[in-house]
Amino acid sequence: MFSASGANCLGRNQESEHSLTDGPAGDSARHEYEKRRNARETRIDTKWGGLAGVVKFFSDDPHSTKAWAKGSDGERRLAAHLAESLEDRAVLLHDRKVPGTKGNIDHLVIASSGVWVVDAKNYKGKVERRDVGGLFKSDQRLYIAGRDRTKIAAGLSWQVDAVRQALSEIEAPIRPVICFIAADWDLFAKPFEQNGVLITWPQKLVEQIATPGPVTAEAITQIAECLANTLPHWSL
């Protein structure tokens, strides 16, 4: 069984004003969307003056801007699903910022099974694992809606590093996940790993998180306190 032994981290937690303070999921993505939308409207106002209202009515935010709103909605949906399904079997922390970077972690789930670092993706289309290698070499890749999206799995490595550094001497399994909220899967599809990252959907993610594991109840609380303070909510 894993127990929390990171005295340095726990000592900092006792002095922190945040404790287990959490906030809603998707805040940072929603803020980025609003910032980009407002910047676009300001540019239109400056360029078109009295005609700005007409230009805005007949135009729309670019895909790169709308993607932030879509991502925020996906994070909120997954957060609600995890809370309803896991209840008191896990501690949930959402939208955690990593000090010294501009990045954030969508969801941290601390349970008996370990610390789950979850990146929510609100993509459309079918999720597939394809072997694009040749006759004598396997090359497994992640495809979404027919596009090679393998790189998004590699993008979780810095999040895992941030969690590992935050926990310091506290021992617990760290499990990186990409959870697709609205994607399609084949009828008999199963979650799979891509470069050490679990690729799954909400229902299956809950099943794996809820699986009994080596982390004690005391350690869950201590780990959650450590992460809550070292990786505070985006709004703090």
**Across residues 19-28, what is the average pLDDT?**
58
Rounded percentage of the chain residues whose pLDDT exceeds 70: 69
CB 106 within 8 A of CB 165: no
Which of residues 133 and 116 earns the better pLDDT score?
116
Q: Does 155 reside within a domain?
A: yes
Average pLDDT of every residue of the chain: 80
> Helix, strand, or coil here: 22?
coil
Q: Does 186 reside within a domain?
A: yes
For 54, 98, 121, the CA distances from 154, given in Å and listed in that order, are 43, 17, 14
Residue 50 has pLDDT above 90, yes or no: no
Residue 15, classified by CB atoms within 10 Å of its CB into exposed (0-12), middle (13-18) or buried (19+), is: exposed
How many domains, the chain? 1
How many CA atoms lie less than 13 Å away from 83 in the CB half-sphere?
Answer: 12
Q: Does 68 reside within a domain?
A: no
Residue 79, classified by CB atoms within 10 Å of its CB into exposed (0-12), middle (13-18) or buried (19+), is: buried
Domain span at residue 119 reads 7-26+73-230
Whole-number Å distance between alpha carbons of 16 and 30: 27
- Tell me what pLDDT residue 32 has: 55
Q: Residue 4's pLDDT band (boundaries 50, 70, 90)?
A: low
Which of residues 177 and 77 earns the better pLDDT score?
177
Q: Does 224 reside within a domain?
A: yes
End-to-end alpha carbon distance in the chain: 33
CB 108 within 8 A of CB 119: no
Q: Which of 21-25, 88-92, 112-116, 168-172 has the highest mean pLDDT?
A: 112-116
Q: Residue 61's pLDDT band (boundaries 50, 70, 90)?
A: low
**Across residues 23-27, what is the average pLDDT?**
64
Q: Does 184 reside within a domain?
A: yes
Q: Does 95 reside within a domain?
A: yes
Residue 14 has pLDDT above 70, yes or no: no
For residue 40, the one-letter residue type is R
Q: Does 203 reside within a domain?
A: yes
- Tell me what pLDDT residue 222 has: 92
Residue 29 has pLDDT above 70, yes or no: no
Which of residues 151 and 46 earns the better pLDDT score?
151
| Closest alpha carbon to 202 in 66, 39, 84, 38 | 84
